Amino acid sequence: MSYKVGQPVIVTQEGVNRVAIILDRFVVNKVTMYDILFENRSAMTMVNVTRSKQTYINKELTEKLCDTGTVVPTMNYAELFEANQLPIVRA
């Protein structure tokens, strides 16, 4: 599954699940990578869905919680974009 910019996701980071939104999507060596913004406004770049990594987008939890509307992020991508408050995470 490919995630769209502004879509909420659940990111598992060293065993801890966190809510985030997708900031950007790009391909590196035929692998789709994502820049994400966590609820605490910290950003991370080059995150993918591979479970073997310490930080990854948890597809199962995202489908169960975010796609059904059970978990809704406190930040709104459209509002942050309009206010020019999105972080620049790639050089």
Cα separation of 23 and 21, whole Å? 6
pTM: 0.83
Using an 8 Å Cβ cutoff, are 23 and 5 in contact?
yes
Tell which residue, 71, 17, 24, 72, has the closest CA to residue 45.
24
Tell which residue, 60, 35, 63, 30, has the closest CA to residue 47.
35
Q: Is the pLDDT of residue 1 over 70?
A: no
**pLDDT tens per residue across span 37-72:** 898 888 888 888 888 888 999 999 998 888 888 887
Kindly state the tokens that stand for 27.
């391909």
